[in-house]
Structure 1
C-alpha cells in the first residue's frame, strides 16, 4: 500500500507554498500583526486558486492548511472551509461565495444565545463569544437554543440587531469577536434533530485542519532555528555543530514528523468517513476516526509549541526581540494549543481507547 502523497497533491502544496511566500513575506506578516489587520484582498485570490472548491478532498485541504500555518496567511479561509462549509453540506445547501464563520461558544462572562420562531421567521437573542474571523465574514452560522434543542442558523453580516465587538486575542492575525443578537433575523439551516451532529462534525473538521496548520507553524519555527544555527558562529564554528543545539533541533524535527504523519492520516480517515456517510447515510465518525482525530490534535499542538520554544532557545536573545518574527508563530502555536476542546480531553479519549483495547484479567 502506498501512503505517499500523489503527484497532484505535491503540486498543489508546492503551488500554495509559492503563492503564500510571495504574498506573505515575514516583514508583511509582522506589519499586519502589529496593526492587528488581516488581508482583505486575499479572499478573491484564494477562490480563483480553487482553495474553496467544494470538491477539494480533506487531504488536499490539510496540505493547504499546512502552508497557511507556515506563512501565517491572514485570511478567513480556515473559518470558512474548516468550520462553516461542513454545516452547509450537512444542510444540503450550496456553499456561498463569501467568507463565513461559525459561532457556538458561550460568553465566558455568562450568557448564551436563543432562537424563537415568529410569524415572519426565526429571531435570535443573546451572545456568542470568541467567534473567529467574525469581522471579515459576509455571513455568520450561529448555534442557538430552541424549545426543541440546539439548531444552526445563518445570519448575514451586517444584520438588524447584530453587534460585532472585536475581542483581544493572543494571535493578532486571527481575530475574534463577541456577537450580540437583539431580535436578529436568522435563517434555519439545520434543525435540532440534526444540528448537534452537524456542529460536532464541523468542529472535528475544523480542528483536524488546525492540526495540519500546527504542522506548518512547527515547520516554519524549525526552519528559522536551523537557519540561525547555521549562520550564527561561536568559537569559530556554527552553533548547530554543538550537541546542545543540534540535539534540540533533532528532537523538534522528530516531533514535527510524527505530527505531520498523524495529521494527514486523520485527514484521510475523516475524508473517507465523510464519503462513506454521504453514500450510506451513516454517521461519519467511529472509533478509528475519533482516535486519529485526537492523535492529530495532540501531536500537532505539542509539535508547534515545542518547535517555537526550541527555536527561542536556539536563537537566544535575538529570537526574543520584537523585531524578530518568531514570536508571531509562537503566538499562533499558543492559540492553537488552547482552541476549543482542551488537550486533556483528547488525551482522555486516547486513554479510553488504549484501556478498552487491553485484554481483561484471565
Structure 2
C-alpha cells in the first residue's frame, strides 16, 4: 500500500504555502482583523486565483476534483498562516456536502461553480455548533431543522453577533424559519449528510489546529534563539529544550492520525467517525501544548497584541470547541474502543 502523497498534492501545498507566506504575513492579518468585517475580499480573491477554493469541486463544475486527503494538507496551511476567513467551511465542508447531491440538482449546479471561482461565501450551521462562523457575511447559509438540510439566503436569516477571544472569528447566533423552498435534503438522507458533514468539519478543524501548533512551535523556537538570560540564549537551557521537544513530538504523532482519518473519510470507510474523532483529539492536544509551552517560553508578553504568538494561540483556543467538543469526540472513540467488535493493533490499521 502506498502511504505517500501524490506529486500533485505536494506541489499544490508548496505553492499555497509560498503564496500565503507573502500575502498573509502577521502584520497584514492585524490590519484585516481591525476592519469592521474582519475579512479581505482582495485576499480571498487571490486565494481563489491560486485554485484553493476549487480544490474539491468536481472537474465537471470547474474544480480540481481532489478529495479529503488533499485537504488534510491544505487545512494545515490555513492554520499555519491563521487565515482570517471561513474559507475551509465554504471550499471544503460545504463543497463536500453539495458533492453528495445528484449532478442535476439545481443548487449543486448553481453553487459549486461559484465555490470553485471564489465568488460565493457559505456558512454552515451544524447542530453541534451553537454559533455559526461568518453567518453575517455569507450569501447563503446551510442550516439544520431536525434531520433536514436547508439552504437559506442570508436575507431570510436573523443574525446576532457573538464575541470571540479571536478577533478574526466572526461568530453569530442565527434565527430562521424553514420552508419547502429552502429544503435541500430531508429525513434519513439528511441525517446521513449531516453526519458526514460533521466528520468533514471536524477534520478541517483538526488540520488547522495542527498547522497552528506548528506555527506556534516555530515562533517559540525563533524567540528562544534570540532572547538571552545570563548572557546565553534561553534556547540553550535544557528545560526550554524539553518543553519545545514535547511540542514537536505531539505534532509528529498527530500527523499520521490526521492523514489516516482523511483516508478513511475519502474512501467512505465505516469507521471514519472514529478515525476523525481520534485525529480531532490528537491535533487539539498538540495545539494546546504548543500554546501552553509557547507562553511558557515567551512569558506574559506572549499575550500582548504586538507579539505574533497571541494571534495563533487565540485561534487555537477559539477553534477548539468547533465541530464537536472534546467530550463528543472522546465518546465516539470510547464507544468503539470499548465495544465488543473493536479491531485494534497495527494489523488492523488498514483493511486488505
TM-score range, shorter chain: 0.7 to 0.9
CA contact (8 A) 1:164 1:177 kept: yes
- Matching of residue 154 in structure 1 with residue 151 in structure 2: yes
Distance change in 2, residues 1:58/1:44 (3 Å): same
Q: Distance in 1 between matches of 2:139 and 2:79?
A: 23
**Consecutive aligned runs of 4 or more in structure 1 exceeding 3 Å deviation:** 182-186
- 2:148–2:190 CA contact under 8 A, matched in 1: yes
Distance across 2 between alignment mates of 1:271 and 1:229:
40
Identify if the C-alpha distance between structure 1 residues 183 and 68 changes in structure 2 by more than 3 Å, giving closer, same or farther. closer
- CA–CA distance in structure 2, aligned partners of residues 322 and 44 of structure 1: 27
Query: What is the CA–CA distance in structure 1 between the aligned matches of 2:157 and 2:316, rounded to whole Å?
Result: 31
| Separation in 2, partners of 1:183, 1:81 | 24
C-alpha RMSD over aligned residues: 2.2
- Of 300-309 and 173-182, more deviation after overlay is shown by 173-182
Is 2:43 the partner of 1:42? yes
Unaligned runs of 5+ in 2: 58-64, 103-107, 115-119, 343-352
CA distance in 1, matches of 2:21, 2:256: 23
Q: Offset of 1:182 from its aligned partner?
A: 5.4
Which protein has the bigger strand share? 1
| Distance in 1 (alpha carbons) for counterparts of 2:16 and 2:234 | 32
Cα distance in 2 for partners of 1:129, 1:31 equals 28
Q: CA deviation at 1:267?
A: 1.0
- State which structure, 1 or 2, has the greater radius of gyration over its C-alpha atoms: 1
Contact 2:206 2:283 in 1 (8 A): yes
The answer on whether the counterparts of 1:318 and 1:324 sit within 8 Å (CA) in structure 2 is yes
Matched with 1:121 is none
3-state DSSP class of the match of 2:52?
coil
C-alpha separation in 2, matches of 1:325 and 1:207: 26
How far the C-alpha of 1:317 sits from its partner, in A, is: 3.5
Pick one of 317, 336, 349 that aligns with 1:353.
Answer: 336
Separation in structure 1 between the aligned mates of residue 43 and residue 180 of structure 2, nearest angstrom: 29
1:139-218 equivalence runs, <5 A? 139-145=140-146, 150-157=147-154, 159=155, 161-181=156-176, 186-218=181-213
Length-normalised TM-score, structure 2: 0.84
Q: Say whether the 8 Å CA contact 1:233–1:239 is kept in structure 2.
A: yes
